[in-house]
Structures are given as C-alpha cells and as structure tokens.
Amino acid sequence: MKEASVILINATGLHARPASMFVKEASSYACDVTVEKDGTEYNAKSIMGILSMGAMKGDEIIVRANGEGEEEAVKALAALIETGFGE
C-alpha cells in the first residue's frame, strides 16, 4: 500500500471539473484507490463519492492506493492535486 498526504491548492477544491479529472485519472489504474478526509475514506473512482466529500481549497487529504500500479497511481493523483489541476 502507498499513500501521500496533499493539500488542495486550486480554487474550486475537488469540485466540478477537478472532481471528474480526479476520478477519471483514478479509474485508469487497476488498484484500489481511496481518498481520506477528516478520518472518512471515499472511493476515488466514484464521482458521487468524491463530490459528496466536499473537499475545498486548503483541505488536507490522503490519497491511498493498494494493488497493481499503486506507486504510479499515488504519484499521479498527488501531482494532479499539487499542480492545482492546471487551473
């Protein structure tokens, strides 16, 4: 299992376009991917789950992957968040 803790820097947080970018990226890996916020874990491949998380700018979240390609998955998703989804 791999994980990384990241802070959302883009203005809209995990919302609208960034949320779907995040879910699409997560879904491209075979391993299980989750996101933890305030002690609750959400399925990173679920758009409804990610939206319901309500993660905003400045929130700290933990990206976690387990299984095939876990290292690449965590790296890519953390990079997406750290670069502010290209906003």
Partner 1 sequence: MVKGIGASPGIVVGTVLVKKEEEIEIAKKTIDSSETEILNLQSAIEKSRTQIQALYDIALVKMGEEEAKIFEAHQMVLDDPEVFGQVENKINNEKINAEYAIEQVVAPFIQMFEMMEDEYLKERAADLKDVAGRVTKNLLGIDMVDFSNLDSKVVIVANDLTPSDTAAMDKEMVLGFVTEIGGRTSHSAIMARTLEIPAVVGTGNVLSQVATGDVIAFNGDEGVIFVNPNEEKIAEFKAEREKYDAFRTRLSTLVGKESVSKDGIHVELAANIGTPEDLDSVLRNDAQGVGLYRSEFLYMDRNSLPTEEEQFDAYKKVVAGLEGKPVVIRTLDIGGDKKLDYLPLPEEMNPFLGYRAIRLCLDRDDIFRTQLRALLRASAFGNLKVMFPMISSVEELRDAKAIVEEERVKLREEGITFDEKMEIGIMIEIPATAVIADLLAKEVDFFSIGTNDLIQYTTAVDRMNEKIAHLYNPCHPALLRLVNMVIQAGHKEGIWVGMCGEVAGDPRLIPVLLGMGLDEFSMSPISVLNARWIIAQLSQEEMKTVAETVMNLPTASEVEAYLANTIQLED
Rule CB under 8 A: which of 8-67 touch partner 1?
A: 11, 15-16, 20, 23-24, 27, 43, 45-49, 51-52, 54, 56
Cα–Cα nearest to 36, from 12, 11, 66: 66
Cα–Cα nearest to 67, from 7, 26, 17, 16: 26
Judged by CB, which is closer to partner 1: 21, or 76?
Answer: 21
Q: Which two tokens stand for residue 75?
A: 């790296």
Q: Does residue 4 touch partner 1 according to CB under 8 A?
A: no
Tell me the helices (H) and strands (E) count for the chain, helix number first. Answer: 3, 4
- Check if 79 is active-site: no
Residues interacting with partner 1, by CB under 8 A?
Answer: 11, 15-16, 20, 23-24, 27, 43, 45-49, 51-52, 54, 56, 87
